[in-house]
Structure 1
């Protein structure tokens, strides 16, 4: 697969310049036309991105094969490069590359519908997801049946589209669909992600029987407490029951949630500690200073083990470095690297939690085990940087990542929560005051 011509990049640059600098039409109908055409442009761009991703993967594998790289290691790191280029996380890069390979190789009509704007990237990926259990021949049949005629998708909502693909998949290979549902239980897991207003989404992916059973048990006991006069809402009681039963802490009786063991890593100035307003940090979630202080006080009043850790920032807002001559990062330094990045992987656009403490410059290349040469990475990013052609180096502005194609991406640790860059503020004619 080859690119259309060498002018593609220039044409896209001119299109971007036109979109950035042009005005909007006055006529309302023309505005709707513009919105629709822009959606078509987005879908067509996704199709070309998919083709370009497949072409780059093939080129990389061909070059590595010529150099004698074993087949099992060819293409390592390609998904991460695509993720950086698209400003996505490494996991998302893997998903996008997988989508591109299957779509371009087995579902040409689906790619055509992307190009003409009949499907967007999300709906196209749903079609692939629902046909993942089918063979290549069966998937091609679904592609022909669903996407060969653009008018067949007109007015078809996402739910109807997914339902239609599911029905076709079951008709083609009912055993594969049943086996897929049976194997889905292996994917059960629990995740935690931040929600607005210092809340958290705790999500459990469970087999339907277990999920319904857990929900029914919580609802039944919550109804009993509501009937007994508990002032909390049914939803609040169910949430408190869940926390109490999972953690083993006593069930609360008032409107406040149960007190639980919580590790609070606070980076704050002395004035904030004594009542200032700069925010605090709980894991990777920024919270107002008062909320952080209340969490600590609630933990103490709940008769729980509480540990207080202090970190110090210099005048530039950077956390104070810690050094060690050991190759394995000591526990304290590992914690420091994770806290410096606020618990988030240091790779640009990657929002995964820190799992590994990594040397920016490898030890075998003379890299020191120090805070200056250390970073917190997720597991995938730590493995990707070991692929041939990947390099990293610390700079004054952060850590520079150089991919096999020579593209450079800069990442740097965020400033401590609540930090304000010192600057001079005019307080009177000819008079300036340094503030932080």
Structure 2
């Protein structure tokens, strides 16, 4: 669940709330002029709607804001960032990793079990829609509705490397960063890559310019704000890729040299957030070798001025 708040002029906000509550009051009032068959169907639908007033208001407000028709699914793309161990724990001995979490960019961390449940539910729904579409085709009915419904929800799974630190890459032969490659850069570089600039990265740029032979791929791409994307084209500015983020050299890194000769290094932030820590190996305590502790089993002698139990009883 998530919150959605709107701050606006008083008359507009109150007017929207009044219109919404007025519609809610009419939801169980049926039109007496409806034909008998339609009236019975509407009455059955009203009896089946057991939502509370608040739940109905929230659902109706979201329908109006999204422009959807009643009961129409919400077309949405969800980016779910996870490691292979979080997605498929059975392939790694059936045990979930210590950091069993996934990340929805723009929202935050969710438990790995919830991420797997979301994927399983989408796969189940996709299978049901495929079966329905096949049945429609076999019976001669129009299957467009089933095929359209299957396209309403997209779950884009973005896998990290085994450490969970960096995203994998995408390649492109185009000059511009578009499609999946652009989304990749937006997820990897949410803010401008120039050090100390925390502005949102609104433009995808070539670290090594395309005119100088720079490829259009994830390793040569960087997210920049509009200002620094223009500034780097001025004389005296030089940018080069230090680390592609695709091998053991570490996260994606670039080096920026200013016209004054100063050098600044920039590293892509952890995809799982700034508080990310590299996962520890799954090692059980009983599997660890015991160290030769020379003090093991040693009990210090009590001080000479301590009283024994008999002396305490006498005292």
Please report the TM-score for the alignment, with normalisation by the length of structure 2. 0.54
Q: Does 1:327 align with 2:171?
A: no
Residue 57 of structure 2 corresponds to which residue in structure 1? 238
Alpha-carbon distance, 1:358 to partner: 0.7
Q: Is the 8 A contact 1:393 1:400 kept in 2?
A: yes
Identify the residue that residue 154 of structure 2 maps to in structure 1.
307
Give CA deviations for 1:51-95 in whole Å, capped at 9, x if unaligned.
xxxxxxxxxxxxxxxxxxxxxxxxxxxxxxxxxxxxxxxxxxxxx
Equivalent of residue 429 in structure 1, options 290, 296, 311: 290
- Deviation of 1:268 (Å): 1.9
1:307 partner SS: strand
Larger helix share, 1 or 2: 1
Q: Distance in 1 between matches of 2:222 and 2:120?
A: 32
Structure 1 residues not aligned, in runs of 5+ = 1-197, 253-257, 432-436
Look up the match of 1:285: 107
Q: SS state of the match for residue 218, structure 2?
A: coil
- Structure 2 counterpart of 1:412: 267
Provide the aligned length of Structure 1 versus Structure 2: 226
Superposed displacement of residue 241, structure 1: 1.7
Question: CA shift at 1:219, angstroms?
Answer: 3.7
Residue 377 (structure 1) aligns with: 224
**2:77 paired with 1:263:** yes
Shift of the 245–414 alpha-carbon distance from structure 1 to 2, 3 Å rule, reads same
> Normalising to structure 1: TM-score of the pair?
0.41
1:282 and 1:313, CA in 2 relative to 1: closer, same or farther beyond 3 A?
Answer: closer
- Could you say what secondary structure the match of 2:254 adopts? strand
Structure-2 separation of matches of 1:414 and 1:292: 22
Q: Per the alignment, in what secondary structure is the counterpart of residue 376 of structure 1?
A: strand
Deviations 1:254-282 (A, max 9, x none): xxxx9632212223234422474632233
**What residue in structure 2 maps to residue 214 of structure 1?**
16
**Aligned partners of 1:399 and 1:352: how far apart in 2?**
18
**In structure 2, what is the Cα distance between the partners aligned to 1:352 and 1:237?**
38
Give per-residue Cα distances to partners, 1:254-312, cap 9 Å, x unaligned: xxxx9632212223234422474632233432231344445556667595523344444
- Decide whether the 8 Å contact of 1:261 with 1:304 is kept in 2: no
Contact 2:188 2:269 in 1 (8 A): yes
Please give the alpha-carbon distance, in whole angstroms, between the structure 1 residues aligned to 2:26 and 2:121: 27
Residues 350 and 223 of structure 1: is their aligned pair in 2 closer, same or farther, counting only changes over 3 Å?
Answer: farther
1:370 to partner: Cα distance? 2.3
Residue of structure 2 in register with 1:199 after alignment: 2
Task: Kindly report the root-mean-square deviation, in angstroms, between the aligned alpha carbons of the 2 structures.
Answer: 4.1
1:396-411 alignment runs, 5 A limit: 396=243, 398-404=253-259, 406-411=261-266
Larger C-alpha radius of gyration, 1 or 2? Answer: 2
Write out aligned runs for 1:134-153 (5 A): none
Partner in structure 1 of residue 132 of structure 2: none
**CA 1:221–1:336 in 2, change beyond 3 Å: closer, same or farther?**
same
* Distance in 2 of aligned mates of 1:211 and 1:405: 53
Instruction: Give the Å deviation of 1:404.
Output: 4.8
Residues 25-424 of structure 1 aligned to structure 2 (within 5 Å) = 199-201=2-4, 203=6, 206-222=8-24, 231-232=51-52, 234=54, 236-249=55-68, 260-274=74-88, 276=96, 278-288=100-110, 289-293=112-116, 295-296=118-119, 303-305=149-151, 306-315=153-162, 317-341=165-189, 343-348=190-195, 353-387=200-234, 389-396=236-243, 398-404=253-259, 406-417=261-272, 421=278
Does 1 or 2 have the higher relative contact order (CA < 8 Å, sep 6+)?
2
